[in-house]
Chain A
């Protein structure tokens, strides 16, 4: 049962490895960036799951309500920042890929290396 109880961590690990595999093994630069995005998203999920408290609700403080369990809002705020960082990285990466395509006429890593060697 422990395996199922920790399923959200398994989702994190599996996604992380899928992303990492794509980053390492793919030669197409766009596919590498897709891998990088999956890799980063996995980490976002790690942060989001850790903030969840069973039975917890949105942390809106009010004098009238008492004895309510709240989820931890901080990791969500952190990951909002990390998502922005992830988007900027992907955007910049895609921008570089466009420039590479303009200069080399290819976005396959081995072809670019071939051209550089000449």
Chain B
């Protein structure tokens, strides 16, 4: 144990966790924001360092307090965790760095230190879920991140956020408690909480009913937290009425972190040990994924509030990710994981563009948007680029993962071709709902009898530059796909190591 490099996994949690209480004390204007951003950038650098190590074939293991696993709490960062850590810390950094002006408007100055403190706690909690290799520890971090995100969502000036957050709290707690029941039943049967140890020991008791019940509780509980259709009802309102910067942060990573736990449990712990688990997993999740794609996109077609429209599109995108996983094959799962990364890029960039719009427009419905492109051409051009990536137009990140997803689905015979049809149909609906935004902004005239509130020029420069950076990243990762693809393929290999 020498040098900082050995402590990378734990630093990923400790840095934001320690800075969080300090931030709460920083009252001078802007200081709390600056400290939170610096901590978030530091987390991002740690994640990049670990992703580089993982790509070089390293697996980071850490025994907390020097207690060896399975007795102590173990941390482990492999390709799957590294991929998600990049998404998480990247989204947090972009949202904080770009969101300053927007947050200044939406959060009262005296509440800002506490707000940024909650932000860092959410970051620390989600990072903790991703680095932990201990089932109960994951539960604790899950609750830390959830409690902090409830505070973040409720922090804005819109009162409709309050009922939304209450529903989010109820459903999130029910989901986490289901997970806790599942972990308890497994502990009862195996006497261990360490995931790797569980994987070995669960074999002896695999056919007994408590383990099957535990698999059910864990899958449903985490699907609830991941907003998988039809358990998504908390998501649209929470994303719509949250402060705009929080929408950027949560839309890019919150549900994906829960999906991470779901996939890790189902593939690593249950798959190799429960007879027929992969068939059940596919039979249960594939219809839900298909429905998520169709219903999510379908509802988005008729939404008039842009943030709600994008939130329903997120429900559909979770469907694509789960669809990839439910194929239970390495190509399918790696396409799903790659889609996690690419969807975070495109949805993050879209919500950043929406945040830019919100600084200059009175409302965020399609009517408010009419003719906005005349005054904010740069913002809306970035929105078009990110929108193309969400649709999956060749040359953007969204195309790469959807292409892999379709190739993987097509290998499954007749059913596979039906799935390909679903993906194409979902993408066509995406064309329509992205087009509705573009049409309103670029081709409609601003309402006559112009009132003073309508678009007053471009968004603040810093916010605009970072939005364009996110939009260009969509193009960059559409052309240079190596890093996320390699991480996703390695991660799929690790998860499906039990596959015959």
Contacts and interface: CB of A to CB of B under 8 A. Distances in A.
Contact of B180 (A82, A92, A100): A82
A118 to B, nearest CB: 12
A57 interface: no
B15 interface: no
Given A46-B184, A50-B184, A85 B143 contact: yes
Nearest to A77: B136
Interface of A is mostly: helix
A100 B181 CA distance: 31
B173 A40 contact: yes
A40 B178 CA distance: 9
Contacts of A104: 159, 162-163
- Size band of the interface chain A makes with B: 20 to 34
B166 A96 contact: yes
Give the interface centre of B151, B177, B187 by most chain A CB atoms within 10 Å: B177
Interface in A50-77: 50, 75
B147 A97 contact: no
A74 to B, nearest CB: 8
B162 A96 contact: yes
Contact of B166 (A39, A82, A88, A100): A100
Interface string B177-215: 100110010011000010000000000000000000000
B154 interface: yes
A43 B214 CA distance: 13
B393 interface: no
A103 B184 contact: no
Contact of B174 (A36, A97, A116): A36
Interface in A18-44: 20, 23, 29, 32, 36, 39-40, 43
B169 interface: yes
Nearest to A98: B162
A29 B154 CA distance: 16
A16 B160 CA distance: 30
Contacts of A93: 166, 169-170
Interface string A77-118: 010011001001100110011011001100001001100100
B147 A88 contact: yes
B163 A89 contact: no
Contacts of A96: 150, 154, 162, 165-166, 169
Nearest to B140: A81
A103 B163 CA distance: 10
Question: Which of B150, B184, B193 has the most CB atoms of chain A within a 10 A radius of its CB?
Answer: B184
Interface of B: 136, 139-140, 143, 147, 150-151, 154, 159-160, 162-163, 165-166, 169-170, 173-174, 177, 180-181, 184, 187-188, 193
Interface of A: 16, 20, 23, 29, 32, 36, 39-40, 43, 46-47, 50, 75, 78, 81-82, 85, 88-89, 92-93, 96-97, 99-100, 103-104, 109, 112-113, 116
12 contacts: A50-B184, A75-B184, A82-B180, A89-B147, A89-B173, A92-B169, A93-B169, A96-B169, A99-B162, A104-B162, A104-B163, A116-B160
